[in-house]
Structure formats: C-alpha cells, structure tokens
Homo-oligomer: A and B are copies of this chain.
C-alpha cells in the first residue's frame, strides 16, 4: 500500500514526497542542470511505487520548471537560462524575430558597503561589504540597458580575482564556473522613471526621457539571494507582454 522508502511528512501524498526528495537532490547539488534523472522504472523500483505515482511526482517538477522530459530519451534537470527571457521583453528594430543575447560590458567593479535596501534584498547584514558593478548592454553596438549589479561577499569573493575584460556577455555561467553559485530563478519588478544624467549618458538619450526600470533578485535552487540587479532601458524600445485570465 502506502508503504514506501520515502522520507518526509507521512501526511503528504507519496507523489508529493517523491517530488520533494528529487527537488532536494537538485537543491543540494547531487543533480545538476543537464543531468539525467533516474528513469520512471528505476524510481518505481527504488521507492517501491507504482508507475502512476512516480509519474505524478515527476510532473510536479516539470510544472515547476525544474525538470524537462523527452519521449524516448529520459527526464533531465532543466538548465535555466533567462538572459533570453529578459530580452524577449524588448522589441529591437534591427533583429526582428531572432532572440540574440546583447553584448555585455562591465564598466566598473568595486568593493563597497551594500546599501540598506539592497542588503535587505540580498539577506546580508546591514553595513556588510559587497561587490558593486556597473555594466552596459548593447545590441548592434547601440546601448539598450544600463545595469547596476550587487553581489554579496564573501560568497562571491572569487569573482574579484577575475579579469574584468574576460567576462563574457552572460554573468550567470561565470557565477557558476568561478564561484560555484548556480542561479535557478529570479524575481523582477518593473517601473518607470525619468532618465538621470548618468543613465542618459550611458543610454545616449536626453536626460528626463522615460526609462523602464527593472529590479531583479536572482536566487539559487535553495532560494538564497545571490545577485541584486537594477537595469534601465529606453522606454521606446521596451515592451512587455502578458496574458491574463
């Protein structure tokens, strides 16, 4: 019957506990993005469950976006990649259709005291040190986004020894490779404001022009805040789409 080798709160459904166990495998790094998850039949045997129960557990994680399934190939831990997801919000005049990752250039990298509200978001102590960066992103050589980025210390200490010019267009793979920090998801918040002098200079627009402001908090699989980022882009290039029910 409901006899299973699964740990966890016995009041929860078995498929839920299976999902919890597998999610923990990812959170704790035993399963990494791209890895293959044990097959359905393997999980049935290992935990002494019926196929339907195992499938339901797996489907939970698919719905969460953690796993991907491929008929005939297997179940895999999904690689999150959201630089493309951010940039689907922008309409670019030149590159119609194709999603291209804009070029990224780090302009400054310093160590500073983390401002209060960012410290709060990153869940680090008030007044602690962090890495502060300024970055610009370009499409076809034209600036489209100006970014301020904060990373907590000592978690990202290894990032300081990297040559700034060698960092590519995407930061999250670098966080993974150099600092063993995997970004799994993020929350964003949108608003708009007038371009400041500094922002206007970076985006090559007139000060006072409306810009979209996107605050992003990136988190690891376990929910730990890893990076705080504020991006500003020209409103006339910005366009976000949603479907509602």
Residues of A within 8 A of B (CB): 52, 64-65, 78, 80, 82, 85-86, 184-194, 208-212, 235-236, 238-245
The 5 nearest A-B residue pairs measured at CB: A192-B192, A192-B235, A210-B210, A65-B245, A190-B240
Assess the B192–A210 pair: CB atoms within 8 A.
Answer: yes
> In the assembled complex, which residues on chain B have CB atoms less than 8 Å from the CB atom of A211?
192, 210
Evaluate whether A245 and B191 lie within 8 angstroms (CB atoms) in the complex, with A235-B210, A240-B240 already known.
no
Interface centre among A212, A241, A242 (most CB of B within 10 A): A242
Assess the A187–B242 pair: CB atoms within 8 A.
Answer: yes
Assess the B194–A241 pair: CB atoms within 8 A.
Answer: no
What is the bound-complex CA distance between A36 and B185, given in angstroms? 37
Q: How far in angstroms is the closest Cβ of chain B from A96?
A: 17
> In the assembled complex, which residues on chain B have CB atoms less than 8 Å from the CB atom of A236?
191, 193
> In the assembled complex, which residues on chain B have CB atoms less than 8 Å from the CB atom of A193?
210, 235-236
Contact partner, A188, options B186, B209, B241, Cβ 8 Å: B241
Assess the B191–A244 pair: CB atoms within 8 A.
Answer: no
Residue of B nearest to A240 (CB): B190
Q: How far in angstroms is the closest Cβ of chain B from A23?
A: 13
What is the bound-complex CA distance between A239 and B78, given in angstroms? 30
> In the assembled complex, which residues on chain B have CB atoms less than 8 Å from the CB atom of A189?
239-242
